[in-house]
Structure 1
Amino acid sequence: MSDRKPLDAFATLVMVALCLCWGFQQISVKLIAADITPVMQMGLRSAIAALVLGAFTLRREGPAAFADGSLGAGLLVGALFAAEFLCIALGLVLTSASHMVVFLYSAPIFAALGLHLVRPDERLRPLQWAGVLLAFGGIAVSFLAGGGSVTRAMLAGDALGLLAGLAWGLTTVAIRGSRLADAPAVRTLFYQVAFAGVALIAYAAARGQTAVHFTPTVVGHLAFQIVVITLISYVIWFWLLRTYLASRLSILSFLTPLFGVGFGVAVLHERLEPSFVAGALLVLGGIVLVSGSDLFRRRSAA
C-alpha cells in the first residue's frame, strides 16, 4: 500500500525488541525441556493462544467470522503451522538452539521460490536468484563441512530445522494465494494455533510425552512463550506490516537468527563449529538478497 511509511526510530526499536524475543524462544524451549517436552510446550502454548484468539474473534465478528469461505485455507495453513512446530520440537531434542534458529530462518527462501511458481507478480529477479543460490550454498556448507564434531543426531536435528523452514515458507505461500490474504490477521493466526494445538497435544499424548512438572521456572517460560511470543509479538508484527514498508521490516527481522545464536552461546553454552558459522553467514546473506532486493533496487535507482 502507498501509505505505508519508511522505518522511523520507534519502529526500529520495536523490531529490535521483537527480534530479541524471537531469538530467545528456542532457548526458552530448551531451558525447560527436562520438565515439559518441546512438543508438549508447542502444543500447550498453541492451544491456550487459540482459546484467547478464538474468543476475541467471536466477540468481535461473531460466528459469521468463519463463514467467509476461508476455512479450507485455514485448515491448510494450520496443518503447515503444526508441521513447522512439530519439526522444531523434535529437532531441538537432537540439535542446538543455535542451529535450529538459523535453519528455521531459511523460510523466506522457500516462500520466495513458492511465490515465484504460483504468482506472476512475485517472479524472482536476478539478484534474488543469486540470493537463493547463496543461501543453499550456505546450507550445504553447514551440513557437509562439519567434520567429526557434528554427530548424526545433530544432522537429523538440522534437517528437521530445515523442514520447519520449508513448512513456514509454504505457509506464507498458502496465505498469499488464498482468501486468507485479505482476512484479519488475528483470524489467520487463530487457524494456525488452533490446528497446531490439537495436533501437537495429540502427538504428545500418542508418544506418552504429556507429563508436565510445573515449577516457577516452567510457568515463567510458558508464560513468555504464550503471552509474549504467540500473542503479543505476532500482533505487533502484523501491525508493523500494515503501517511500515515490508522490505525495511524484512531486513531488520534477520537480526533474529543472530540474536538466537548469541543467546545459544551465552545462555546454553553451545559450541559453534567454524563450518556452521560460515554456512550460517552465507544463508543470512542470501536471505537478505532475496528479501531486500526491492530496497536495494530502489536505492540504486535513486
Structure 2
Amino acid sequence: MIKTAFDSPAIVLLIGLCMLFGLNQTVVKFGLEGISPLMQAGLRSVGASLLLMLWMTLRGEKIFRDDGAFWWGVLLGALFAIEFLLIYIALTLTTASHTTIFLYTSPFIVALGTHLFVPDESLKRSQVVGLLIAFAGVFFAFRDSVDGEASLLGDSLALAAAFFWGATTVVLKASPQRHQSPSRVLLYQLVVSALALPLLSWLMNEPGITQLSSWVVGSLLFQTVLMAFAGYLAWFWLLSHYPAAKIASFTFLTPLFGVLFAWMILDEQLTYDMLGALLLVALGIYLVNKPGRRV
C-alpha cells in the first residue's frame, strides 16, 4: 500500500540514503588506490549479487524463474554495467565532486526519456524550467573543468554515466520489468554487471588487485554491503511504500552531500564555478521532481 505522506522514520532513512549515495564517489577514490576501476566495480557487483541472492532465499523469493522479462532484465543489466564502467573510469580522471555533479544530471535524462517513451508522463512546466537551469549548471561545471583540477574527459565520462543511469530508469518504466519485485529488478542489474565488468577488466589488461590495504578493503566493503546491496534495496523499498515523486524530490540533497564529503575528506577545491554548478543542478533536480502544470 502506497502511503500519501512521509513519516519520521522514512524521512530519516531517505536523508540517510542521500548522504550514503553522496559519499560513494569519495569512498570509491580510496578503493582505486589498490584495485583498478573495472575490477573494483565488478567485485562490488559480485559481492552484492551474492548478498541479494541470500536475502531473496531467506525471504522465500525464487532466484531462478521464468518471469517473462528476461531480455529486458539483461538490457537493464547491460546499461547498469556501462554506467558503472564510466563512473569508475571517470573517478580516475576527475574529482569526486565533479563526478557527483555530472552524475546527478540523471533525473533530467529520465524526465526527457519518460516524456518521449512513457505514456502519461509528459514534461511539466516546472520540469522544463528545471532542465534549463540544470543545463546552465553543467556549463559552469565544464568551465570549472578547464580552469580547475578536474578534467574534461573525466567530466564527460561522468556525464555519459548519467545518461546510461537515466536510460536504465526509462527502460525500467517502459518495459515489463516494472512489474517485477524490487529484488528481482536489482538482481538482473547486479548479476549482469558482475559477469561483464571483471571480464572487461581482463580484456583491457587492467592490473586488477594491486594492494589490499585496510582503506581499500573498507572501501570495497562499503560499496558492496552498504551501497550496492543495502542502499539500493532500501531505496526500492521506499519506492514501493511512498509516492515516487515525493521520494525523487529529495535527490537534490545527494550532489550537495557529495561535494561536501569530497571537500571534507579529500580536500577537493571548491571554486565559484563549481558551487554555482552545484546549486543550479540541485535546484534543477528539485524543479524536475516538483508537481506542476503540464506543457
Report the TM-score when normalising by structure 2.
0.92
Aligned to 2:197: 200
* Percent of aligned pairs sharing the same letter: 39
In structure 2, the partner of 1:35 is: 34
| 1:16 maps to amino acid | I
- Deviation readout 1:12-71 (Å, 9 max, x if unpaired): 1111111111111111110131111232211101011112323544673436x5312111
Question: Residues 202 and 9 (structure 1 numbering): CA distance in 2 closer, same or farther, change over 3 Å?
Answer: same
Please state which structure has a larger fraction of its residues in helix. Answer: 1
RMSD of aligned C-alpha atoms? Answer: 1.8
1:257 maps onto 2:255 in alignment: yes
Specify the code of the residue in structure 2 equivalent to 1:205. Answer: W
Matches within 5 A, 1:235-254: 235-254=233-252
- How far has the Cα of 1:203 moved from its partner? 1.6
- Give the structure 1 partner of residue 10 of structure 2: 11
Contact 1:30–1:38, Cα closer than 8 Å, also in 2 = no
Separation of aligned partners in 2, 1:13 and 1:256: 14
Unaligned stretches of 5+ residues in structure 1: 298-302
What residue in structure 1 maps to residue 87 of structure 2? 88
Q: Residues of 1 paired with 2:67 and 2:131: CA distance?
A: 36
Cα 1:146–1:43 change in 2 (3 A) is closer
Instruction: Pick from 270, 273, 276 the counterpart of residue 271 of structure 2.
Output: 273
Residue-pair matches, total = 291
Stretches of structure 2 that go unaligned for 5 or more consecutive residues are none
Q: Is the 8 A contact 1:38 1:89 kept in 2?
A: yes
Q: Do 1:204 and 1:210's aligned partners in 2 also have CA atoms closer than 8 Å?
A: yes
The aligned residue for residue 224 of structure 1 is 222
Quote the Cα distance in structure 1 between the aligned partners of 2:206 and 2:7: 49
CA deviation map 1:183-240 (0-9, x unaligned): 0111111110111111111121122331242222222221111111111111111111
Letter aligned with residue 62 of structure 1 = K
What amino acid does structure 2 have at the position aligned with 1:85?
Answer: F
**Deviation, structure 1 residue 283:** 1.5
| 3-state SS of 2:6 partner | coil
Question: Are the aligned partners of 1:43 and 1:197 in contact in 2 as well (CA < 8 Å)?
Answer: yes
Indicate if the aligned counterparts of 2:97 and 2:259 stay in contact, CA closer than 8 A. Answer: yes
Give, as a single letter, the amino acid of the residue that structure 2 aligns with 1:222: L
CA distance in 2, matches of 1:239, 1:274: 37
- Letter paired with 1:187: R
Deviations 1:134-167 (A, max 9, x none): 111211222136553356xx11111111111110
Alignment of 1:158 with 2:129, yes or no, is no
Distance 1:267 1:131, change over 3 A: same
Q: State the partner residue of 2:186.
A: 189
Q: Is the partner of 1:180 in helix, strand or coil?
A: helix
1:148 alignment partner AA: D
TM-fit CA distance, 1:249: 1.6
Which amino acid in the other structure matches residue 130 of structure 1? V
Whole-angstrom distance in 2 between the partners of 1:81 and 1:128: 25
Corresponding letter in the other structure for 2:31: I
